[in-house]
Structure 1
Amino acid sequence: MKLIIAIVQDEDSTEVIEALTEQNYRVTKLATTGGFLKSGNTTLMVGIEEEKVQSVIDVVKEICKKRKETLVTPTILGGSEGGYMQQYPVQISVGGATIFVIDVDQFVKI
């Protein structure tokens, strides 16, 4: 038995959950917050037999594609007048997923 922990972006989570439940996988959803940009993430947990692990990973991989977003960052520039704030657009990569696969010693469903 394995436990898959997949950390995905909030905007991808609904589609991943729907795709997994359509294939009869049980999914537990936890709302989490990422460290970078304090963006909303969703942590999904799936308990699964070892031979089905790659199938779950493939579903997550298909939906959680990396993409580019533009973020406007304020920058304080110094000057003789005490400084002013300039905003610069910065392109960042978002999306994708982080997946952990963990061995489960015991699984009990009551």
Structure 2
Amino acid sequence: MLLLLAIVQSEDAPGLAARLIEQKLRLTQINSSGGLFGTGNVALLLGIEEDEFDAVLDAIRATCKTRTKFVNPWPTPEPPHVYFAPVEVEVGGAVVFGVPVERFVHISGGSDAAAPAPQAGTPTAQQPEGRRDAMRLMVAVVRGEDADNVIGELLAAGHRLTRINTTGGFLRRGNATLLIGVEAQQVDEVIGLIQAACRPRSEAAPLEKGIPEYAANIFVLDAPYFVR
């Protein structure tokens, strides 16, 4: 399994999300900004099987367009009477990162978590400075109404985390993506804490597109480099 991070232009995000949902893929949307021009873009998080990778790339290529934009040049110490015309640049397409997922868990509030799908990597023989094979990065996407409760449980248990306010790609509801760094032996504990903090819901799951709703989706990634 892979966790994909696809950074696309804001104009392309709705169409791409619709294409991916038609393929019965789950995704989470993060509103972000480009580092060079400072313009808004969108980062999409989605978990896929490796044999779905080419189909996802085809959807991205078919949706994400290249556009011509004009940007003002950087300020210069030239005299005030010197003027520079805006610079024409080509932007577009997408940037896609794929990270192997060591373990993936669906959580339904009030029920047992699904079985994990381990895909462990092979440890390296040498340990460079900052490398710890025992560290994992957990990416947990939880419902917005459960986020504060989940964070409270994790903090009370002594875990550190970062919260990113995100949006579900299908129902367009606010949710939260939590980044949690833990030691490998703490992964099951954190999954249990999230499971206990997510409340069961009585509303029907949105099955019209064949995509059931879960209280949380958790990706466990190998984090061989961890530095404070």
TM over 0.5: yes
Q: What's 2:54 paired with?
A: 54
Instruction: Using the TM superposition, give the Cα deviation of residue 24 of structure 1 relative to its aligned residue in structure 2, in angstroms.
Output: 1.1
Instruction: Using the TM superposition, give the Cα deviation of residue 89 of structure 1 relative to its aligned residue in structure 2, in angstroms.
Output: 2.8
Measure the CA separation in 2 of the matches of 1:72 and 1:4: 33
Matched, 1:89 2:86: yes
Read off the aligned partner of 1:98 and give its amino acid letter. Answer: V
Higher gyration radius (CA): 2
Indicate the SS of the match to 1:107.
Answer: strand
Contact 1:74 1:87 in 2 (8 A): no
Q: Using CA pairs under 8 Å that are at least 6 residues apart, name the structure with larger relative contact order, 1 or 2.
A: 1
Measure the CA separation in 2 of the matches of 1:19 and 1:11: 14
TM-score normalised over the length of structure 2 = 0.43
Q: What's 2:95 paired with?
A: 98
Contact 1:74 1:85 in 2 (8 A): no
Give 5+ residue unaligned stretches, structure 2: 108-228
Higher strand content, 1 or 2 = 1
Instruction: Using the TM superposition, give the Cα deviation of residue 4 of structure 1 relative to its aligned residue in structure 2, in angstroms.
Output: 1.0
Measure the CA separation in 1 of the matches of 2:83 and 2:74: 6
Instruction: Using the TM superposition, give the Cα deviation of residue 84 of structure 1 relative to its aligned residue in structure 2, in angstroms.
Output: 3.2
Read off the aligned partner of 2:100 and give its amino acid letter. Answer: D
TM-score normalised over the length of structure 1 = 0.85
Give 5+ residue unaligned stretches, structure 1: none
Once superposed, which parts of structure 1, at least 4 consecutive aligned residues long, lie more than 4 Å away? 72-77
RMSD: 1.8
Contact 2:37 2:71 in 1 (8 A): no
Contact 1:75 1:85 in 2 (8 A): no
Instruction: Using the TM superposition, give the Cα deviation of residue 23 of structure 1 relative to its aligned residue in structure 2, in angstroms.
Output: 1.6
